[in-house]
Chains A and B, each alone.
Chain A
Amino acid sequence: MTSTDVKPDETTSAATRPARPGFGAALRWETRKLRAQLRTKALLVGAVLTPIAVVVIVHSQARPPKDTLFGRFATENGFAMALLLLGFASQWVLPLLTAIVAGDIFASEDQHGTWKTVLTRSISRSKLFWAKTVVATVFALVALVLLAASTIASSLLIVGHQPLTGLSGQTIHARAALELVSASWASMALPMVGFTCLALLFSVWSRNSAVGIAAPVVIGLIMQLVGALGGIETLRPYLLSTPFEAWHGLLASPQFTGPLQESVITSAGWSVVCLVAAFLILRRRDITGD
């Protein structure tokens, strides 16, 4: 319980009136609120344990799941297994994983009726907004790292680390394959931050945790559907689901990184727009009237 006694970090503010807590304190509160929730722990434990179970189940199949990229080799090659699960996770698992926390983080204050308490007594809206944003983003990245590490480790231990056949038919040796698989998983970070910001926006806007959690996942699925349709492929660069597929270029020979560069712009664009919208909505909201 030490965090409540923390002195403000700001040295510039006038010392005459009781100083308001700084951004650091807000961060600590938000982190503590998150850590106290059962779902946070359950999600992180799930991110570690679920891949192990999935790898065991897929590995025991007689027929490999050929309809997904790298599924063809998944039962006989650990790197292919890790990439198969990557393709699967990016469909809805990653958006859901981050939305469960980010979609709730503002809406829970509405649910518990705690906006007045939080804002009138202690901290400015913008500090609270950024603290919640940072905490939700860090959670998303931690969850991604755990999921990736667990998937790659269990794939390699259970299925093995044979040389991988890449997307141009080239043979990739184990060491290079491990680097490429890790890089592919790492490329999920940006779109996942994008989905975090989308969930934050829905959390602020709807004031409803269910909407905050479900809407980003549904929108993600719709974007995937739109991106898979023929004839409207010019829309693909604008969809937040496209960066989830940018890793394909890493596994081709010669490698191509155009989609990865585009994914930086797309993810950053969605993140900034969602955050600005969420910030404006929160700043203009009439808390006292609720």
Chain B
Amino acid sequence: MRRFIITVLLALVAVVAVSGAVLAGTGGGSSVTQPRLERSLSANFANLYADQAKLLGHTGITPASLNAKAMCDKGGAVEDNIGPGSNWNCLVSWTDPNNPMPLEGYGKFEVQVHSNGCYTAGGPSRLVGFQTITDAKGNEVTNPVYEFDGCFDPKGDNTPTGTQFPSLLNVTTTTLVPSADRKISLQLSCGTGSTGCQGTVAAKAGDTDLGTVPVDLPEEQTANLHFPTPVPAGADSVTFTITTTKGTGSKGPVTETSLDMPPS
């Protein structure tokens, strides 16, 4: 038995060595790539969204009429868009007269991709609805696009689809917390997208200009902007004007948002 165990161990070592050699020889490339996922996800989504429209009783929607396009990204700007993982994000745009796209033009899907080319995608509920929907007959049914599975050909077309969407620059601060000298800061996040976010944020409290701060963020990153001028006593809110040159704000290239000052 001991001889047998030694033999098994030697065999395992040999297997590891051989597989290492194979890996070194082939370069370790993955069949899970951005173009394959984009093609599969957009087609899969279009079919399922047409099913959902049928359930809801919306007419005139076919997979082709949706013209669904996807742009996928793995792990933000710091990671290559290749290989399996649960950190794939796909931006998908489509055309449905009953349900227009938000201003940035897409919805974000979180996708978990396995090494065998199969994936599970979760849709943005504000665009596709929640897990169950009420169909045209009044029954509660499973929403086909809330979460769905698919598989793509690991040897399928790998030419880039060319679909690109701008990153969405969002304010993540919900309440202003001024420092002891009444200076404020604003947290921004730059979403998945092909561009990253660039631009400026100008802050105003009443008539007082609090300064203009530049933003330059790669996709899927956040930043804290500090405004140099203190908020005058008595001001009860601050208005921020976000101007984007790369990426987009939630209301287009120029987005205004206002946050209340805490009572002093």
Q: A residues near B, CB below 8 A? A: 66, 69-70, 72, 76, 165, 167-171, 206, 208, 211, 226-236, 238, 242, 245, 248-249, 251-253, 256, 258-259
B106 lies within 8 A of chain A by Cβ = no
Residues in chain B near residue A76, CB distance under 8 A: 142
A77 to B40, CA, bound (A): 23
Residues in chain A near residue B117, CB distance under 8 A: 248
* Residue contact B4 to A206, C-beta cutoff 8 Å: yes
A70 to B118, CA, bound (A): 11
Residues in chain A near residue B46, CB distance under 8 A: 169
* Residue contact B40 to A168, C-beta cutoff 8 Å: yes
Give B96-120 interface residues, CB cut-off 8 Å to A.
Answer: 114-118
Residues in chain A near residue B156, CB distance under 8 A: 256
Closest to A73 in B: B142
In the complex, how many angstroms separate the beta carbon of B62 from the nearest chain A beta carbon? 13
* Residue contact B30 to A231, C-beta cutoff 8 Å: yes
B144 lies within 8 A of chain A by Cβ = yes
In the complex, how many angstroms separate the beta carbon of B200 from the nearest chain A beta carbon? 39
A169 touching B151 in the complex, CB below 8 Å, given contacts A229-B115, A231-B83: no
Q: B residues near A, CB below 8 A? A: 4, 19, 22-23, 26-32, 40, 43-48, 51, 63, 83-85, 114-118, 142, 144, 147-156
A96 to B248, CA, bound (A): 56
A230 touching B115 in the complex, CB below 8 Å, given contacts A165-B144, A168-B47, A171-B51: yes
A69 to B153, CA, bound (A): 16
A222 to B115, CA, bound (A): 15
A253 to B47, CA, bound (A): 11
Closest to B40 in A: A168
A38 to B80, CA, bound (A): 55
* Residue contact A165 to B26, C-beta cutoff 8 Å: no
Residues in chain B near residue A256, CB distance under 8 A: 153, 155-156
Closest to B84 in A: A230
A234 to B23, CA, bound (A): 7
